[in-house]
């Protein structure tokens, strides 16, 4: 975040955009990307396929190959320098304020839940489409990599918690609220699912937003369920009490002499 330096006016502090959890995520992603690059340079296509095949998210490998670690590992893989650069840039731009609000542990937990949840949604939707005849077999063997699903979850969290926070639409000198930005991004991703030829996993992006929203609102859902159960118990006890009063009103006590005033 921007800081102010005494005697020198406004000073931009880049470290504010990389608090502890975001810094850890960036280091992990950059380290894995470095290993991907070195493997590709040394072993060419075989080196690149090793990381994508074993640690990318492939629906067929997860379900039939029991590679259950893939929904966790695909988040840290990227397909090129621009891919990882923009993902980490968006993470720092929008995630820093969320981590400063929540704290490192809660932010990291939320980030991983969104990323893993987005991967599971991707696998589930593609298998469902294939089973119902609306998806091709090739969709089950195409790997998904990148942290975009988790980052879309972060974007949604900022929009829910800080809906009126203004952001610039670079390179235009225009600002919009986080709520409007996320609604527009969600609509773009939704319509993007209608065309799978662009090589972008729109289902994964929407999955990250969906899982993030459910996680943030889980308290209200549980609170509503608790209220419903409490109301049901209260009505049940009230009915029992009414039956009890009615029975005793119709039948007087057997020994009225024992009454006490």
pLDDT tens by residue, 59-76: 999 999 999 999 999 999
Mean pLDDT calculated for residue range 196-218: 91
- CB-count exposure of residue 56 (10 Å: 0-12, 13-18, 19+): buried
Structural Rg of the chain based on CA atoms: 27
- Please spell the DSSP secondary structure of 177-246, one letter per residue: EHHHHHHHHHHHHHHHTT-GGGS--HHHHHHHHHHHHHHHTHHHHHHHHHHHHHHHHHHHHHHHHHHHHH
134 and 223, same domain (yes or no): no
Q: Which of 117, 135, 138 is nearest to 127 (CA)?
A: 135
Q: Report if residue 63 sits inside a domain.
A: yes
CA angle 46, 47, 51 (to 5 degrees): 110
Chain length of the chain: 261
Give me the number of domains the chain comprises.
Answer: 2
224 and 211, same domain (yes or no): no
Q: What is the CATH number of the domain that holds 40?
A: 1.20.1540.10
Mean pLDDT calculated for residue range 247-256: 61
Q: Report if residue 230 sits inside a domain.
A: yes
Range of the domain at 229: 219-250
pTM of the model: 0.80
Q: Report if residue 158 sits inside a domain.
A: yes
28 and 125, same domain (yes or no): yes
Report how far residue 114's alpha carbon sits from residue 57's, in angstroms, rounded to the nearest whole number: 15
pLDDT tens by residue, 93-113: 999 999 999 999 999 999 999
- Please spell the DSSP secondary structure of 102-165, one letter per residue: H-HHHHHHHHHHHHHHHHHHHHHHHHHHHHTTSS-GGGGT--B-SSHHHHHHHHHHHHHHSTT-
- Beta strand pairing status for 9-11 and 3-5? antiparallel
Mean pLDDT calculated for residue range 36-61: 95
Place of tokens 């991707």: 122
Q: Report if residue 147 sits inside a domain.
A: yes
Q: What is the pLDDT of residue 251?
A: 60
Residue 57 scores a pLDDT above 90: yes
Q: Which of 98, 88, 90, 70 is nearest to 23 (CA)?
A: 88
């Amino acid at each position: 975040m921007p800081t102010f330096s005494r005697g020198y006016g406004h000073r931009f502090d880049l470290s504010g955009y990389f608090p502890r959890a975001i810094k850890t995520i960036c280091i992990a992603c950059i380290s894995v990307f470095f290993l991907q690059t070195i493997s590709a340079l040394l072993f060419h296509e075989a080196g690149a396929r090793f990381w994508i095949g074993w640690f990318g998210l492939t629906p067929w490998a997860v379900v039939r190959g029991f590679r259950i670690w893939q929904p966790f590992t695909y988040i840290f893989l990227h397909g090129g320098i621009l891919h990882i650069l923009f993902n980490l840039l968006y993470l720092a731009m929008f995630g820093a304020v969320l981590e400063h609000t929540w704290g490192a542990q809660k932010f990291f937990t939320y980030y991983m839940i969104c990323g893993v949840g987005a991967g599971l949604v991707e696998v589930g939707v593609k298998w469902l489409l294939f089973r119902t005849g609306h998806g091709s077999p090739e969709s089950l063997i195409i790997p998904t990599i990148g942290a975009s699903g988790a980052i879309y979850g972060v974007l949604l969290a900022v929009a829910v918690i800080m809906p009126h926070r203004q952001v610039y639409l670079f390179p235009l000198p225009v600002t919009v609220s986080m709520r409007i930005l996320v609604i527009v991004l969600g609509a773009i991703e939704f319509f993007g699912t209608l065309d799978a030829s662009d090589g972008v996993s729109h289902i994964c992006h929407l999955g990250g937003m969906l899982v993030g929203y459910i996680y943030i609102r889980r308290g209200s859902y549980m609170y509503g369920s608790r209220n419903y159960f409490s109301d049901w118990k209260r009505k049940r006890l009230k009915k029992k009490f009414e039956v009890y009063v009615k029975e005793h009103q119709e039948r007087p006590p057997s020994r009225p002499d024992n009454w006490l005033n």
